[in-house]
Chains A and B, each alone.
Chain A
Amino acid sequence: MSSPSRVDLLLDLADDELILGWRNSEWTGIAPFLEEDVAFSSIAQNEIGHARALYELAARELGTDADSVAFDRPVAEYRSAPLVELRRLEWARTIARHWLYETADAIRLETLKSSDDAELAGITAKIDREEVYHRIHAEMWVDRLLGSDEGRPRLEEALDELWPYALGVLDDELRPELVTRVEAKLGRPLPDADAVPRGEHETELAELLEEMTSVRRSAPAGARW
């Protein structure tokens, strides 16, 4: 299997962070309680900040600007993993997705931080400093739900549903590490599953992009605000 180009790798990361950032922001104003309203809004802001920096690197190679890369591509060209595209405004699924994504992302960042591409190593190390807090938050919630009679079955069901999607965040060679970490936390084997791969988009992505880019598309070219 050939390795993806540098731009594709940057876009894998950037698209995941942008789309998940948008999904996280959907809890702004309606989370179960105020602390989580603040937390998911702040996490969304971080993820979109990471996406922006990664799009800037990609844009430099593509000879364009970050906003064009982020917002002007056709749906089929997005490289996001289907895990981040799903619209799941339900708490157990939100926590399941949050924790699965952060666990997978941590594995991916660990490998990229030691890249021989100094720029990629630097930016992923910087991103990882902030992701530490996302992981603490996700694990805190997993522990909290696993420790409750109502939460545990709901979280377990959500994790089983999203597991094939979680595998799709990572390349083949990193998936066994994700299995190890998730099984260690849950204390049970995960269902056998085929990964839902990157690029096989959920219908929710088109709806998300339609909404996300509506203002940009409505403005005349060159508008500034």
Chain B
Amino acid sequence: MSPDNACGDPTQALPTTDAVWGAFGEIPDPEIPVISIVDLGVVRDVRIEESCVHVEFTPTFMGCPALDMMRSQMEDAIRGLGGEPEVEVVLDDSWSTDRITAEGREKLRAAGFAPPTPRAPEPPTLLQLERGAFRCPWCNSTATRLENLFGPTPCRSLRYCDDCRQPFEQFKTI
């Protein structure tokens, strides 16, 4: 093969896509380590092409500083399996919070982050965010109120539960 090809030695055994998905399932979200990047739904595709492991990666919130780290962790995981990574960042509109898996949503809730509500055809309104049924991850009450549309990271809002009197972080729906 030509020396300037970024991919590895074609005579070496390549990892399987299943092995790559399995390794990605062990990579925690750098900011919310209770869920993996697979739970988060940011890996759109894994293909073995020639001698490269090609990954399509769709960022979550565009200003999220964890994105670079996720990318380098995926590359390290592929190298750890003996593959040569080629991570393509797909900046299209295919990621939404609906891509977080059911398992991922439960892990978020168990860790005290209220998972995102399902995406509706129309974008959310202030009325919905103030009056809608957002469930407290600690006590399950829906007697919660919006404290701030924005929170400690781009993906979260702040709410307060009037029943158990605890603040909590609500994943924004996008």
Contacts and interface: CB of A to CB of B under 8 A. Distances in A.
Interface of A: 35, 38-39, 41-43, 45-50, 52-53, 56-57, 118-119, 121-123, 125-127, 129-130, 132-133, 136-137, 139-140
Contact of A38 (B129, B151, B174): B151
A137 B150 CA distance: 9
B33 to A, nearest CB: 20
Given A133-B172, A137-B149, A45 B93 contact: no
Interface residues of B, number: 27
A133 B146 CA distance: 13
B130 to A, nearest CB: 9
Contacts of B92: 118-119, 122-123, 125-126
B147 interface: yes
A38 B62 contact: no
B63 interface: yes
Nearest to A113: B93
Contacts of B62: 46, 49-50, 52-53, 126-127, 130
B124 A136 contact: yes
Given A122-B91, A126-B95, A43 B150 contact: yes
Contacts of A41: 150
A136 B130 CA distance: 11
The 9 closest A-B pairs by CB, nearest first: A49-B63, A122-B92, A49-B62, A125-B93, A42-B150, A129-B174, A45-B63, A39-B150, A132-B123
* Residue with the greatest number of chain B CB neighbours at <10 A, chosen from A42, A47, A57, A140: A42
A109 to B, nearest CB: 12
B61 A49 contact: yes
B160 to A, nearest CB: 12
A121 B92 CA distance: 8
Contacts of A119: 91-92
